[in-house]
Structure 1
Amino acid sequence: MLTAKGKYGLKALVHLAALEPGETTQASDIAVSNNIPKKFLDAILGELRNAGLIHSKKGPGGGYALAKKAAAIKVGNVIRTLDGPLAPIGCASRTAYQPCRDCKDVKTCTVRLTMTKVRDAMSEILDTLTIADMLAAPKAARETLRAVRG
């Protein structure tokens, strides 16, 4: 499940992706525009900066900007950075495997096998989508709606 931290991080990155090249914005602008608590956003932006996804500039004309092109930032990477592994349970994780205490045979556990499929499906989608795709999604939806309405 995507946490508020992950959701807000994605919203912040989409906000930054909408800026003109070379433009920066303040955390307070991101917070107000996306209805994100400012203190929480500051912590999220710090994690995104440490992960190399954004950079910040202090002083006049400073603020936040993407450190990479929006098309190079995979949604799955952002979620893993902020929320941890995608797997719904620890025993289905590729990067943070944790065996269950109650499991007698990991190789035949039907719950683990099912959750591994869920993890794989989520990963296939989230590791394909980029922040640029997220930014384009509302525009594409509006265009589709216009075409349907004629």
Structure 2
Amino acid sequence: MKISSKGEYALRALITLATNKNDLMQIKDISSETLVSSQYLEHILLQLKSHGYVKSKRGVYGGYTLKESPSRIVIGKVIRDLEGPLAPMGCVSVTAYEYCPLEDKNCLLKPLWALIRDTIAQLLDDTTLEDLVKGHIYKN
């Protein structure tokens, strides 16, 4: 699993919207807060909107706002929606499994890849946008 700039910037945008005191934020203001270009941010916000995380209003007084409460937005789901599977290797992916010939030879790496997948998935699935905003990050 590798989180691209798109995933990183999407989380920045969601955090910015979650901490916003106003109802709507314009792209230029989100861009200023997240240090992401308005053009790229517009593309990301459209994806977040299509997945149901944000809503928008057109016009002079328009902008973007969260569609759900930050406590209902699970970071693992956001990352999967934007980036795809969390598994480091296709042979252990739950949603996008890819056969590997070494599986027939009792690959000794597969349990490690599965543990990494499970650990990452649990951490991200146990973290909400509200947790990020409040600084409540799970620590073992």
Q: What is the TM-score when the length of structure 2 is the normalising length?
A: 0.90
Distance in structure 1 (CA, Å) of the matches to 2:102 and 2:47: 34
Q: In structure 2, what is the equivalent of residue 59 of structure 1?
A: 59
Distance in structure 2 (CA, Å) of the matches to 1:51 and 1:90: 24
Q: For this pair of structures, how many residues does the alignment match?
A: 136
Distance in structure 2 (CA, Å) of the matches to 1:97 and 1:37: 35
Structure 2, unaligned stretches of length 5 or more?
A: none
Q: Which amino acid aligns with 1:76?
A: G
Cα distance per residue 1:103-138 (max 9 Å; x no partner)? 2427x322222111100000111001001111111x
Distance in structure 1 (CA, Å) of the matches to 2:13 and 2:19: 10
Matches within 5 A, 1:25-36: 25-36=25-36
Q: In structure 1, what is the equivalent of residue 102 of structure 2?
A: 103
Distance in structure 1 (CA, Å) of the matches to 2:62 and 2:14: 17
Distance in structure 1 (CA, Å) of the matches to 2:58 and 2:108: 52
Indicate whether 1:5 and 2:3 are aligned.
no
Matches within 5 A, 1:107-122: 108-122=106-120
Q: What is the TM-score when the length of structure 1 is the normalising length?
A: 0.84
SS of the aligned residue for 1:85 comes to coil
Q: In structure 2, what is the equivalent of residue 46 of structure 1?
A: 46
Cα distance per residue 1:26-73 (max 9 Å; x no partner)? 111111111112222111111110000111110132100001000000
Percent identical among aligned pairs is 36
Q: In structure 1, what is the equivalent of residue 122 of structure 2?
A: 124
CA RMSD across the alignment: 1.7
Distance in structure 2 (CA, Å) of the matches to 1:85 and 1:58: 33
Q: Which is further off, 54-63 or 65-74? A: 54-63
Structure 1: 4+ residue segments shifted above 6 A: none
Larger radius of gyration: 1
Structure 1, unaligned stretches of length 5 or more?
A: 142-150
Q: Which amino acid aligns with 2:40?
A: F
Distance in structure 2 (CA, Å) of the matches to 1:74 and 1:104: 32
